[in-house]
């Protein structure tokens, strides 16, 4: 992993995701934004269904506005459960999709979390990069997932072509970044075996890394990581003086958030 910032801890971190993060993201989104989230959900569901069929049970960690959970319910998943700390996102999901707290909980996913069933599929879309200890979350997932279950996760790909995004690749809410190799190694050391990796040039992020993994008793052989090569790649992508997407725009953007 490459850590971008130490970030908040404890209650300040919890409060950030409860109430401040939605302001940072400009939420709630307009109708076009919600339409885009639904399109993301449909695309993800189609890929998961192609890969493993329709599961009987599904857990989403970081359920957002509930679009993916709602689609899974519509597509015939019998047991669904979601975790979403954000007040704005959770309230929208309850209003739009009639999710109760029994379906969409505000609690974080920890070793003490008790999901009401052993999920056949667990999904977390752009959650892992927000965590100070992503390996801890993955170990907890390996503990609670069904023996033949499937984990599907997405993160930004640090080895993608993100020149157009530039410094905005390093979102203020992100704590760590991954490449295919570092994410594979982290999953292996957490009790999960990578079966398939997809790379997208666009997706929800510039350079989207999607991984399909299953529980494993053996963490396998670790992939060698050339950290110096990763850093050279990052430097080659960055153009910090750019007026369009370098430090000046990042400063204006953060100032606008601070005023809000």
Q: Report which of 79, 85, 143, 78 is spatially closest to residue 114, judged by C-alpha positions.
A: 143
Q: What per-residue confidence (pLDDT) applies to 164?
A: 87
Q: Could you tell me which of 256, 258, 239, 255 has the C-alpha nearest to residue 169?
A: 239
pLDDT at 1: 67
Calpha distance 143→67 (Å, rounded): 26
Provide the whole-model pTM. Answer: 0.94
pLDDT in tens, the chain (260 residues): 677 767 788 899 999 999 999 988 889 999 999 999 999 999 999 999 999 899 999 999 999 999 999 999 999 999 999 999 999 999 999 999 999 988 999 988 988 888 999 999 999 999 999 998 899 999 999 999 999 999 999 999 999 999 888 988 888 889 989 999 999 999 999 999 999 999 998 877 889 999 999 999 776 788 999 999 999 999 999 999 998 889 998 888 888 878 87
What single DSSP character describes residue 203? Answer: T
Return contacts of 102-109, CB within 8 angstroms, 24+ apart. 103/69, 104/63, 104/66, 104/69, 105/81, 106/18, 107/83, 108/14, 108/83, 109/61, 109/83, 109/137, 109/140, 109/141
pLDDT at 218 (0 to 100) = 73
Place of tokens 């993916």: 68
């Amino acid at each position: 992993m490459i850590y971008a910032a130490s970030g908040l801890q404890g209650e300040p971190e919890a409060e950030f995701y409860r109430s401040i993060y939605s302001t940072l993201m400009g939420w709630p989104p307009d109708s076009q934004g919600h339409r885009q989230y639904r399109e993301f959900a449909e695309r993800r569901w189609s890929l998961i269904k192609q890969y493993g069929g329709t599961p009987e049970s599904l857990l989403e960690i970081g359920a957002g506005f509930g679009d993916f959970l709602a689609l899974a319910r519509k597509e015939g998943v019998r047991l669904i459960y979601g975790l979403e700390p954000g007040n704005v996102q959770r309230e929208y999901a309850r209003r739009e999709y009639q999710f109760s707290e029994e379906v969409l909980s505000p609690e974080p996913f920890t070793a003490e979390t008790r999901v009401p069933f052993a999920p056949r599929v667990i999904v977390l879309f752009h959650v892992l990069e927000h965590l100070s200890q992503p390996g801890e979350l993955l170990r907890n997932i390996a503990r609670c997932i069904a023996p033949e279950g499937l984990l599907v996760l997405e993160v930004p790909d640090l080895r993608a072509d993100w020149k157009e995004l530039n410094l905005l690749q390093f979102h203020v809410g992100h704590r760590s970044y991954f490449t295919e190799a570092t994410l594979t190694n982290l999953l292996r050391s957490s009790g999960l075996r990578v079966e398939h990796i997809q790379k997208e040039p666009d997706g929800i992020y510039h350079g989207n890394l999607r991984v399909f993994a299953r529980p494993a008793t053996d963490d396998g052989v670790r992939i060698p990581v050339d950290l110096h090569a990763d850093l050279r790649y990052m430097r080659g992508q960055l153009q910090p003086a750019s007026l369009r997407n370098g430090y000046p725009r990042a400063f204006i953007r953060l100032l606008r958030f601070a005023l809000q």
